[in-house]
């Protein structure tokens, strides 16, 4: 997802980063300034 966002010119605020609770997350803002976070389970 992060690669797709980058290909569309979206700059990430953070991530992707592994979280202690088993998810990898990244966040970005939309054109209106709302912050969005995408998350996925870390593969075992």
> How confident is residue 2, by pLDDT bands cut at 50, 70 and 90?
very high
Does pLDDT of 44 surpass 90?
Answer: no
Does pLDDT of 43 surpass 90?
Answer: no
Average pLDDT over residues 13-22: 95
Average pLDDT over residues 29-39: 96
Locate 27 and state its tokens. Answer: 């966040």
Split into its structural domains, the chain has a count of 1
- 31 neighbors 21 (Cβ within 8 angstroms): no
CA 25 vs CA 4, 5, 6: distances in Å = 14, 13, 15
Q: In terms of pTM, does the model score above 0.85?
A: no
At 24, which CATH number? 3.10.180.10
The whole domain housing 18 covers 2-41
């Amino acid at each position: 997802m992060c690669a797709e966002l980058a290909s569309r010119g979206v700059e990430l605020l953070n991530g992707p980063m592994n979280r202690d609770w088993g998810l990898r997350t990244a966040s970005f803002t939309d054109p209106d300034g709302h912050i969005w976070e995408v998350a996925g389970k870390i593969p075992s």
